[in-house]
């Protein structure tokens, strides 16, 4: 009986090391995926903030200027100052009411397969009846 136990113990030798390596790899992959997800969420919030500020800049400029190109130029400058790219800008005028609609995109710092490469956000500024 002691010889059977001795052989059984020898066959299990090194299994703890293998389990530790597998656990470490699993934790490493989980940490990497978590970092990428947090990066995507952070970039999306950056896009939202940039589009909100760009829409406000365009609407504010539209109150003082009749040139829609100048309004969208201000929105572009604000978006770029916040690390975004202005992809669409529209100013709507209805009598004394002014509204703006902008869309911006922000590129993710890393290109990870299976994840998006950029985040986009759309914002409106102005009176609710303008849209």
Average pLDDT, the chain: 86
3-state secondary structure of 113: coil
Q: For 41-69, how does the pLDDT look when each residue is reduced to its tens digit (9 = 90+)?
A: 999 999 999 999 999 999 999 888 888 88
pLDDT (mean) for 68-75: 89
Q: In what order do the strands lie in the sheet with 97-107?
A: 85-94, 97-107, 118-126
> Domain ranges in the chain?
42-130
Helices 15-64, 68-81: axis angle to 10 degrees equals 150
3 confidence band (pLDDT: 50, 70, 90): very low
Q: How far is the C-alpha of 116 from the C-alpha of 22, rounded, in Å?
A: 29
Task: Record the pTM.
Answer: 0.76
Per-residue confidence (pLDDT) for residue 122, from 0 to 100: 94
Per-residue confidence (pLDDT) for residue 107, from 0 to 100: 93
The contacts of residue 57 (CB under 8 Å, 6+ apart) are: 74, 75, 77, 78
Share above pLDDT 90 across residues of the chain, in percent, rounded to a whole number: 56
């Amino acid at each position: 009986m002691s010889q059977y136990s001795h052989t059984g113990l020898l066959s299990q030798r090194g299994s703890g090391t293998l389990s530790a390596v597998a656990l470490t790899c699993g934790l490493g992959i989980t940490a990497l995926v978590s970092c990428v997800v947090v990066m995507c969420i952070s970039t999306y919030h950056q896009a939202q903030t940039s589009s909100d500020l760009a829409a406000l800049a365009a609407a504010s400029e539209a109150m003082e200027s009749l040139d829609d190109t100048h309004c969208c130029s201000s929105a572009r400058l604000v978006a770029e100052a916040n690390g975004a790219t202005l992809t669409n800008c529209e100013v709507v005028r209805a009598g004394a009411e002014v509204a703006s609609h902008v869309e911006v995109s922000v590129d993710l710092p890393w290109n990870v397969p299976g994840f998006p490469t950029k985040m986009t956000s759309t914002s409106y500024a102005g009176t609710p009846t303008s849209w």
